Structure 1
């Protein structure tokens, strides 16, 4: 595809896997029109899907062309892993084996070990060594762990998993509860796994009213909502979307992926943080090596876990539950690796 516009600087190569799927269909235009890497940054899209989906992917490429994105320099659409991962700067790993009816979690992990073992190896061999990777395909935390294991030359800090969708869901619920706008709510944390054990932690949330920020407990002291209602709403939101749409979250997942990568690229806002699933070095008692969602700030495209936040008994119990699940997933993934 020939460029339809120009801008200053070299283009960045951006890989999206599962490119013929629903999430990618919503994510591609966000990347191509500058909502992730900025309005002056040209991009080259690398779109990967499996061979049986190439017909659909070809239709997606036609639509990309018809959108006439000014920042889009080129598109590489392929089922060839080597062509897809060659010299990439950023990667959205969206494609994963979905959990089917009757499938055990260990079966899902085994299937994804195979996928992310291959993709980790491709990152290691073909991508730029400073590549930034976001794993979207579930189970995202453990898929990122597998991917990192097979990409030893890529810094572990550069392979992350997405809990931004959970953060966005929680922020929207809180904004609605306090009758405000999402941009007026900050410092929400998602701890742990992108699953129904995650812990949406609103203890530090601040709300802006009359141009000043105040703790949510001062604006509306509602422990029942924050502890008994918000947490299960966010934990079960994905299942509710599936029940309503008969399909999993796509538009909101794509927006969350774009938000995650945008903040990694440009940095976080002053006096705020975001939730990213990143490799643990033992912070907050989380076992070393788990890919775990923490509150982080980002500067110069480097994330840093927010330190020294107080953890009360309620929060500690919730964090321990999601930690236990991730430890079990890691064990099952390792067993699956050994059996392959």
Structure 2
């Protein structure tokens, strides 16, 4: 039986199996087999194509990359044209966009690359409608904007999430806090710092045996599910097997639904309601996008010269002085003596700090280099 047939059989069995306490063990093992077969199929397709699954050939530029993902004719191209100077084709029929169209958004001093991707259809993760290219490109994004039709089917986001999950994209989730180490002997041992309500020793050992892992150490720092453990095992075999990306659900065409429906949608987590046609709520969308990107603007200055507040360095929130220095030049941290910081990250301004100091948004920093003789 081919891998594709095996995958279909397991998917069918999963859909038929009622979820309850008595079937948790069986469902968990089925999910493990499904993940393993999908990984094998992806590896086979990668080898047969002579490389990785091809994404659209668009170079990553700017401070962050955002991918517009959604079904056909939900307004992705209209949104790209509204946010950037790009000219993506707009028409009243489906599949107007057949390739990736990039644009650049200037957002609070940061240059954000926006990618308008072709519409996804059901079965995209299996290759339908250039789906694998679309999802492979979405994997490279710092944030996904899932564009949805406010007047469309209520399961849009669920169906799209399933397609992304199949290709290893985990949206609005963090990697499981689990330490996993394969060994050459000693059997399987696991410990936990919290009570495990979804997993037990029997399931963990059986799942590992299905992966042909007979010796390993596992330390659980959180109450994980079977899906979480499968992700940990897959990433131990291939670190790029899973990517964790923030996602903003953008509901377009709110001019076609009632105020009660708009209010209900707007209250959902990570959701924004807009209308591209009537330019409604775009300012809220940009604020939410900035929050999801989780960026910080750092202004640099030299002695006795004021900082240029119009040209910040943009780094990920939580970055250290060392990472800011690397943003300027990769060799700069080697010659830094200390830094002087003004802003909310220090107790008093200015304050002398080391390379490990974590900066806040809109901090001002002056780099003092070592004296060379």
**Under a length normalisation based on structure 1, what TM-score does the superposition of the two structures give?**
0.27
TM value normalised by structure 2? 0.26
User: Higher RCO, 1 or 2 (CA under 8 Å, sep at least 6)?
Assistant: 1
Question: Higher helix share goes to which structure?
Answer: 1
Structure whose CA Rg is larger: 2
